[in-house]
Structure 1
Amino acid sequence: MLLGTVDHLTAQIQELDRPIACTLEEIATPHDGPGAEPCAGGVSARALAEKLDAVPGIVPATAQVILAEIGADMSRFPTPEHLVSWAKLCPRTIQSGAKNTAGPAGQGNPWLKGALGEAANAAARTDTFPGARYRRIVKRRGHAKALVAVSRSILVIVWHLINEPDASYQELGSDWHQRHLNPARKTRDLVRQLQALGHQVTLEPTAA
């Protein structure tokens, strides 16, 4: 009986996959033009979905949702920041008199934010750059804000992959932050931590 239910649900999923695939083919990129072949100098929406699938956390279904919600024409979003702002993944600044405080991100597109949230949740469990970003932020900002930050990073990557036909996802590695650490900034942060604990810090250069 259970196997029959599984077969029935699988058949329904396959039936739904067909119109989704057809709709993807109808999405034209500015490099294609309506009805253009993928090899005519552009990138088909199906190829874009495959490109997005390479990003940690994104699976084919997630890529389809993202393309369905933002389209394949990034001319509407001149920069990644425009897309992130449209998706309401930027923290809002709340001003009261002379005081400015950071507020939560807006509602945005619920389907896009849901897909990006799932992708961020999956990426957080990987040994990749997005996963490392989540682990760095969650220590000081909490789970929810860390997921929003990773969602924002994933959307920026998506913008570049869609906007640049020849671009492909390049994994930076989970140790990217350690390899690109700014020694002066790290020193300044450590000195401030020690001073906050009541210590007087004197820096002396290391002997050559």
Structure 2
Amino acid sequence: MIRHPQAGYTRLEINNHKGDMSQEKPSPMPEDKNFSAINLNAAGIDIGADRHWVSVPVGRDNESVRSFGCFTANLYAMADWLKICGVKTVAMESTGVYWIPVFQVLESCGLEVRLVNAHYVKTVPGRKTDVLDCQWLQQLHTYGLLSGSFRPQEQICVLRSYIRQRDNLIKSACVHIQRMQKVLTQMNLQLHRVISDITGTTGMAIIRAIVTGERNPDVLASHKDGRVKASCAEIAAALTGDYRLEMVFILQQELQLYDFFQIQLSACDAQIEQCLASFGSKVDVNASPLAKPKRRGKKQPGNAPQFDLRSELYRMSGVDFTQIDGLGAVSVLTLISELGLDATRFPTVKHFTSWLGLCPGSRITGGKVKSSKSRRVVNRVAATLRTAAQSLCRSHSALGGFYRRLAARLGAPKAITATAHKLARIFYRLWTTGNLYTDPGLDAYEQQYRDRTLKNLKKKAQAFGLELIPISDPTECVS
């Protein structure tokens, strides 16, 4: 077994170190004869908010453990010291975003950096200090027992930052939409009862008119768009309420904040368009144009970018992922911004679905299956695929039929996970091969299901020494 760094201290030293742990002197790490070192030039870093503790192999310097500050000059001093000690690869443990500056500085200096999930190395009994943590990371990394977390290429990281900021802006705008809805309800203006979306053309026109001082329900109802099913009389009845001065003031401020976030969202979309244009082209859109979208007659989501996002994604990836049922252009943009364009980071589709936490678990003890639940992960890709799977509940496709059949048998939560798993496998196949996706159709899926059911019934009949005989007239009944 590999011994915890605490094993390098005697009992007397441990008792003497109950005071200020920052002054402790690390003892040499004991070498384990049962393991062979794989990374001889490995270092371990325990990331902190104000100081970072670094451990290098014993004998590389007078002090095998040193601490560095969090300023940029300290980070470059850390990189220089690691190079002097002959370190080639570094493993670090961190929570939050404190690791990002360290990761970028060390990587720019030519070092191989691995970010380790703290959950995988924290379950070690004994006293916990920063010195022991960095020594423990260095020893585990020396024996090749640590795997780094997934991090896409730098160009994808830039796009990912824009997309995450865009999501934050949308969430912030949604907060002010909810507050406007609350103010309208307090004034007994039941606008949401007669229109489906208060942020649509009709809803925003009516709200802006209320803020400017209009109180006549008939005049407010005249802002109705022709696509609204409710009549002007119904809208006027819903807009007859108590226009309190303080509530109108709050509505005005929430509307201004909502408009501000819409301006910021447009600026973010402009940056995203420029970022996408910087990617190389894998296909000539003019020579190989996109096929017609499968979802005809449906407008783009209200928070979709105003430029041709689908063509940009097809140009830079070479695959039209929007042909997969349930995945729109915005969903594909989220997937690419989190995964990147290099599919070789995941050797097989099983590695990919396991990283997403969508595959069944295998918790077996004493020959008994304790649980087969999927692993809980916080992953934006998995969340996007689950949302896409949930949208297939009314889809007239093979994936829609698959979801409905599982939902009827297992319930919606398990059906969403299973359908998201199938979407992940389809996405991975297109991601690695560049092929086109063709939906077999709902009828083909139902026929395949009937054939599989009939095959299983024949096997069961043969096991009991029976034989299935098809009847010529399906309306006949067996007495």
TM-score under structure 1 length normalisation: 0.75
Partner residue of 2:467 out of 193, 203, 208: 203
- Which residue in 2 is equivalent to 1:116? 385
Aligned equivalent of 1:18? 270
Distance 2:421 2:266 in 1: 31
> 2:467 is matched by which residue type in structure 1?
L
Deviation at 1:51, TM superposition (A): 1.1
Say which is worse superposed, 62-71 or 17-26, in terms of deviation. 17-26
Match of 1:173 in 2: 441
Instruction: Decide whether the 8 Å contact of 1:124 with 1:130 is kept in 2.
Output: no
Equivalent position of 2:173 in the other structure: none
CA distance in 2, matches of 1:49, 1:102: 40
User: Residues 107 and 125 (structure 1 numbering): CA distance in 2 closer, same or farther, change over 3 Å?
Assistant: same
CA contact (8 A) 1:129 1:172 kept: yes
Task: After TM superposition, give the deviation of residue 21 of structure 1 in Å.
Answer: 3.1
* 1:175 match: secondary structure: helix
In structure 2, which of residues 370, 395, 405 is the aligned counterpart of residue 136 of structure 1? Answer: 405
Once the two structures are TM-superposed, the CA of residue 120 in structure 1 deviates from its matched residue by 0.6
Contact 1:94–1:100 under 8 Å retained in 2: yes
Q: How much does 1:161 deviate?
A: 1.7
SS in 2 for 1:95: strand
Shift in alpha-carbon separation, 1:132–1:206, aligned structure 2, 3 A: closer
Identity score, percent: 21
Equivalent of residue 414 in structure 2, options 145, 161, 164 = 145
Asked if 2 retains the 8 angstrom alpha-carbon contact of 1:87 and 1:112, the reply is yes
- Equivalence for 2:282: 38
Give the CA RMSD over aligned residues.
Answer: 3.2
102 and 45 in structure 1: CA distance in 2 versus 1, 3 angstrom threshold = farther
Instruction: Report the alpha carbon displacement of residue 140 of structure 1 after superposing the two structures with TM.
Output: 1.9
Structure 2 unpaired stretches of 5+: 1-202, 209-254, 289-310, 473-479
Shift of 1:145: 0.7
Question: If the length of structure 2 is used for normalisation, what is the TM-score?
Answer: 0.35
Deviation by residue 1:140-172 (Cα, 9 ceiling, x = unmatched):
21111100111111111111222123x112111
Deviations 1:31-80 (A, max 9, x none): xxxxx44348xx99721497112211111111111111111111112222
Deviations 1:115-152 (A, max 9, x none): 11111111222111111111111122111110011111
SS in 2 for 1:38: coil
Is residue 127 of structure 1 aligned with residue 396 of structure 2? yes
Aligned: 1:164 with 2:428: no
Larger RCO: 1 or 2 (CA < 8 Å, sep 6+): 1
Shift of 1:19: 2.6
Shift in alpha-carbon separation, 1:8–1:132, aligned structure 2, 3 A: same
Matched, 1:98 2:367: yes
Shift of 1:84: 0.8
Larger of the two Rg values belongs to structure: 2
